[in-house]
Amino acid sequence: MDCGVVIVGAGQAGFQTALSLRNEGYAGKIALIDDEGRVPYARPPLSKAYLKGTATAESLEYRPAEFFVQQAIDLVLDNPAVALDREKRTVALRSGRELEWSSLVLATGAHVRRLPSTGPEPFYLRTFADSDGLRNHLAGADSLLAIGCGFIGLEAAAAARAQGKRVRVIGAEGRLMGRAVSPFISAWFQAMHEKHGVEIRLNTAVRRVSESSAELPDGTTLAADAVVVGIGVIPNTALAAAAGLAISAGILTDSWLKTSDPAIFAVGDCAAHPNVYAGGLARIESVQNAADHARAVAATIAGKPKEYHQVPWFWTEQFEAKLQIAGLAVETDETEVRGDPDSGKFSVYNYKDGKLKFVESVNQPAAHIAARKLLEI
Ligand SMILES: Cc1cc2nc3c(=O)[nH]c(=O)nc-3n(C[C@H](O)[C@H](O)[C@H](O)COP(=O)(O)OP(=O)(O)OC[C@H]3O[C@@H](n4cnc5c(N)ncnc54)[C@H](O)[C@@H]3O)c2cc1C
């Protein structure tokens, strides 16, 4: 008997799993569980348009609440899954409710990495409440200190600078977005931020923070009206680990996104999966990865087994630049720039041993789409 599908986590991956199950014609029971109290929403605007004040809370929602009722998706909010019983095939919620499943999908995402704090906590950016809190605080602030020179820190910096705040970015690495882009793009974005008046300090690992200060390795303290920290995330694997599922850099899966228990799948930020573009296991934090994992798993559960096999792609928006990255940034030995970087529209093609590895396009969406095709294995 089919007891239905329970999806733990109603973020990008969990929501898309439920949607794709119905799109694939799956007619069984679907329960979509989340520990946040909001209708499923998109996170990318939290450090971009929503923080800048140009998007509303409603515009972040993937679908209105009625959609879930119409699709017979049992949306259970503010009620975390606290335990899995793999023998009985049940999941227990904090409320005491127990749900049976034939297939279980873990889409638990990730939580922010924190810095040691010397007082009241600084802002972090993962949830709607985080972004809303920072947005409200920024309204009455003159300055922002962003710790972390990855996507989140830089997007928050650009959003605050666009509102006229004095902004400083402190990064531990030697270049901007160092894990995700080429040195050429790092340098171009640094020049753009500096042109907009953002002060950038690299190679500086902040030791401790508070809501209004950061302590540097040399013992000096920087102060600001608001401090936001974006130094990476940690996958939510505790539920899976407690149930005895194999864990590596995330919840371990095969290329069908099946965990070490074949009735349980893991998708999105929490899943460490074999990725042909990474040349091995990868845990990827992106909308593309979450949505495409979900589509593959939904097809498999609906009886059309689908292996995950997609070109990874990412984007970021900072000031006037939309950067789209196709492929995974790896070390390369040849860089070809097409277009004029001074015009703000160009692409960087990165090669290793004569083979195209990843392509970065600034304000060139057509080049990005073409690059995704070029990179297909
Ligand atoms: C500020 C910000 C900006 C971003 N910008 C971009 C971007 O520009 N481009 C891009 O590609 N990606 C971006 N990302 C990353 C992207 O949003 C994530 O990769 C994506 O949300 C991953 O989806 P997910 O469903 O795996 O995880 P999540 O979206 O984290 O969802 C997981 C959900 O599971 C819930 N949960 C966890 N444990 C339990 C439990 N035990 N019981 C019930 N519920 C549970 C969590 O509360 C959460 O709601 C951004 C992320 C953030 C935070």
Using CB atoms within 10 A of its CB, is residue 335 exposed (0-12), middle (13-18) or buried (19+)? Answer: middle
Interval 188-208: pLDDT, tens: 999 999 999 999 999 999 999
Spell out the SS3 assignment of 60-120.
Answer: HECCCHHHHHHCCEEEECCCCEEEEECCCCEEEECCCCEEECCEEEECCCEEECCCCECCC
* Ligand 1 pocket by Cβ (under 6 Å): 8-14, 33-36, 43-44, 46-47, 80-81, 107-110, 125-126, 152, 236, 239, 268-270, 285-288, 290, 314-316
Q: Which of 43, 47, 135, 318 has the most ligand 1 atoms within 8 A of CB, as the residue to mutate? A: 43
Minimum CA distance residue for ligand 1 atom 21:
12
Q: Which of 34, 91, 253, 265 has the most ligand 1 atoms within 8 A of CB, as the residue to mutate? A: 34
Strand 345-352 relative to strand 355-362, pairing: antiparallel
Closest-CA residue to 177 (of 20, 333, 348): 348
Distance 236 CA to ligand 1 centre (A): 10
Atom of ligand 1 nearest to the CA of 270: 26
Atom of ligand 1 nearest to the CA of 11: 31
Spell out the SS3 assignment of 162-199.
Answer: HCCCEEEEECCCCCCCCCCCCHHHHHHHHHHHHHCCCE
Can you tell me the mean pLDDT for 1-17? Answer: 96
pTM above 0.95, yes or no: yes
Which pLDDT belongs to residue 129? 98
| pLDDT > 90 fraction of the chain, expressed in percent and rounded | 99
Which pLDDT belongs to residue 189? 98
Minimum CA distance residue for ligand 1 atom 42:
80
Task: Judge contact between 25 and 48, C-beta under 8 A.
Answer: no
Helices (H), 115-182: 128-139, 151-162
Distance 12 CA to ligand 1 centre (A): 6
Minimum CA distance residue for ligand 1 atom 32:
109
Interval 259-310: pLDDT, tens: 999 999 999 999 999 999 999 999 999 999 999 999 999 999 999 999 999 9
CB atoms within 10 A of CB 180: 20
DSSP class of residue 243? Answer: T
Task: Judge contact between 328 and 312, C-beta under 8 A.
Answer: yes
Q: Residue 119: pLDDT band by 50, 70, 90 thresholds?
A: confident
Distance 320 CA to ligand 1 centre (A): 25
CA distance 345 to 148: 26
Minimum CA distance residue for ligand 1 atom 27:
109
- For the record, the structure tokens of 84 come out as 């899995």
Closest-CA residue to 17 (of 28, 5, 27): 5
Which pLDDT belongs to residue 314? 98
Residue 329, pLDDT above cutoff 90: yes
Distance 333 CA to ligand 1 centre (A): 33
CA distance 59 to 286: 20
Residue tagged 């789209």 (tokens):
324
Q: Chain-centre distance of CA 122, in angstroms? A: 20
CA distance 105 to 239: 12
Atom of ligand 1 nearest to the CA of 40: 49
Which domains are seen in the chain, by residue range? 5-111+233-301 (3.50.50.60), 114-229 (3.50.50.60), 320-375 (3.30.390.30)
Atom of ligand 1 nearest to the CA of 46: 1
Q: Could you report how far apart the first and last alpha carbons of the chain are, in Å?
A: 39
Distance 130 CA to ligand 1 centre (A): 13
Distance 305 CA to ligand 1 centre (A): 25
CA distance 157 to 176: 12
Average pLDDT, the chain: 97
